[in-house]
Amino acid sequence: MITNKAKYYQQHENISSLIDLHEKYIENILLNNGTNSFSEYDFTSLISKESSINLEKLVQLSQKITKERFGSTIQIFAPLYLSNECQNICTYCGFSLSNKIPRKTLTDNEILQEIEVLKSFGFDAVLLVTGEHDKRVGIDYLINAVQIVKQHFSQVSIEVQPLETDDYIKLKNAGVYSVLVYQETYNKNVYKQTHPKGKKANFEYRLATPDRIGAAEMYKIGLGVLFGLSDDWRTEAIELANHLSQLQKKYWQSKFSISFPRLRPFEGEFEPKAHLSEKELLQLICAFRICFPDVELSLSTRERPAFRDIAIECGITSMSAGSKTEPGGYSNSEALKQFEIHDERTPQQIAAMIQSKNYEVVWKDWDSVLI
Ligand code: SF4
């Protein structure tokens, strides 16, 4: 997918000339208060090792651009796990087929119980999450679940198995606003090793999923990689940025969001291949904000509270709150979590923290009658 990177590094084999070049690009970006359009050179410079010395300036610019485009607002939402059934083996996930855990798919009544709790917290935006199981959580189950949930929430997003364009059209008609599908890793070898069995083993099919979502004219498409799967987070980030840029050009009528999940402990033994530090993650968030001013940037409860508090002022525009990562987790469940969360504050505590920074908490950012 990367078109220019190899050429770029060939032209600048000498590391000191590469550092000079990065500094020149960054200087130029800061001088111009951002970039006019995405350039792989700019993005690469912004996430380069050398540029971390300019982190304070990057944060200031990222904050300025975010306030210009989004105002001082943070949207909060809750994930609603509908099922932990999965036909795939993903070596890093607690729901993997190979893990002998109790499996659970919520019934209509159980979904309603979860909704009741989430509504009592004040949520109006929800992300429906399932494992990937053709039969247990196929298209008919998903449409039914969306129809139930849509009666109670203005904004319904989904993070489920990759589907065909026709299925995305059906889900959009049922009330889905946004579809998230993470490539996990753009490194084909790592992908093969970490997804050895099931439909998800097909790298190309997953890679083409955002195109099928775009072809369905979905309102918003969410992308991301799982940092820690491969040992080179910078190459993953550059691939992700290129993918986003290509999709934006093709599906200009859709909005886009980027998430920044880092590997967290779960039921299994997968060790992260590389550690993306908090400082580097902050640098990455700034790079995405500077190169993609209008894209929603989202941070989950995987991150620790103190880091999430800082990230709000650095380019993040949306975050999950009070998350439970097991089906039935809000109303009552003993099922196994997909992964451990780090920010265990209640939605009200998170809302209070956001307000204390003079940001407005957005529980609902538009009315469904408008679309
Ligand atoms: S990451 Fe998704 S597809 Fe893979 S095992 Fe977990 S739930 Fe299933």
What pLDDT shows up at residue 23? 80
Please state the atom number of ligand 1 nearest to the C-alpha of residue 198.
Answer: 3
Which among 93, 181, 191, 337 is the best mutation to test ligand 1's pocket, defined by most ligand atoms within 8 Å of the CB? 93
**Residue 145 in tokens:** 């679940």
Question: What pLDDT is recorded for position 44?
Answer: 92
Q: Which of 84, 92, 95 to mutate to test the pocket of ligand 1 (most atoms within 8 A of CB)?
A: 95
Distance from Cα 335 to the centre of ligand 1, integer Å: 15
pLDDT number for residue 341: 80
* Rounded distance from Cα 189 to ligand 1 centre (Å): 18
220, 253 contact by CB (below 8 A):
no
Phi, psi for 204 (deg, rounded to 5): -65, -40
Which residue among 90, 195, 202, 226 has the greatest number of ligand 1 atoms within 8 angstroms of its CB, and so is best to mutate? 90
Residue whose CA is at the smallest distance from ligand 1 atom 2: 131
Distances in Å between the alpha carbon of 98 and those of 170, 206, 222, 360? 32, 21, 27, 43
Task: Give the ranges where 75-187 is alpha helix by DSSP (H).
Answer: 108-121, 139-150, 165-174
Residue 64: is it exposed, middle or buried by C-beta count within 10 angstroms (0-12/13-18/19+)? middle
Ligand 1, atom 7, residue with closest C-alpha: 131
pLDDT digits (tens, 9 = 90+) for 196-250: 999 999 999 999 999 999 999 999 999 999 999 999 999 999 999 999 999 999 9
- The pLDDT of residue 7 is 57
Query: Residue 172 phi/psi, 5° resolution?
Result: -65, -45
* Atom of ligand 1 lying closest to residue 96 CA: 5
Residues with CB under 6 A from ligand 1: 86, 88, 90, 93, 95-96, 131-132, 200
Q: Which atom of ligand 1 is nearest to the CA of 94?
A: 6
CA of 245 to the centre of ligand 1 (A): 26
Q: Whose C-alpha lies nearest to ligand 1, atom 4? A: 90
Give the start-to-end residue ranges of the domains of the chain.
Answer: 5-58, 70-366
Measured distance CA(327)–CA(338) in Å, rounded: 9
3-state SS class at 230: coil
Beta bridge partners of 227: 262
Q: With H, G, I as helix, E, B as strand and everything else as coil, classify residue 238.
A: helix
Query: Which pLDDT score, from 0 to 100, does residue 2 have?
Result: 46
Which residue has its alpha carbon closest to ligand 1 atom 1? 93
CA of 354 to the centre of ligand 1 (A): 31
| Per-residue model confidence (pLDDT) at position 76 | 97
pLDDT at residue 10, as a whole number: 53
Q: How far is it, in rounded angstroms, from Cα 346 to Cα 90?
A: 30
Return the structure tokens found at 207: 């890679």
Distance 88 CA to ligand 1 centre (A): 6
Pocket test for ligand 1, best of 185, 200, 203 (most atoms within 8 A of CB): 200
Bridge partners (DSSP) listed for residue 79: 127
pTM over 0.85? The answer is yes
Please give the average pLDDT of every successive group of 10 residues along the chain, which has 371 residues.
Answer: 53 62 81 84 89 81 96 97 97 93 96 97 97 97 98 97 98 98 98 97 98 98 96 95 98 97 70 86 96 97 95 96 94 68 93 97 68 50
C-alpha–C-alpha distance, residues 237 and 33, integer Å? 22
Q: How far is the CA of 197 from the centre of ligand 1 (A)?
A: 11
Q: What is the DSSP letter of 184?
A: B
User: Does domain 70-366 sit in CATH 3.30.1330.100?
Assistant: no
- Measured between alpha carbons, how far is 179 from 139 in angstroms, rounded to an integer? 14
How far, in Å, from the CA of 286 to the mean position of ligand 1? Answer: 29
Report which DSSP code applies to 202. -
pLDDT digits (tens, 9 = 90+) for 273-293: 778 899 999 999 999 999 999
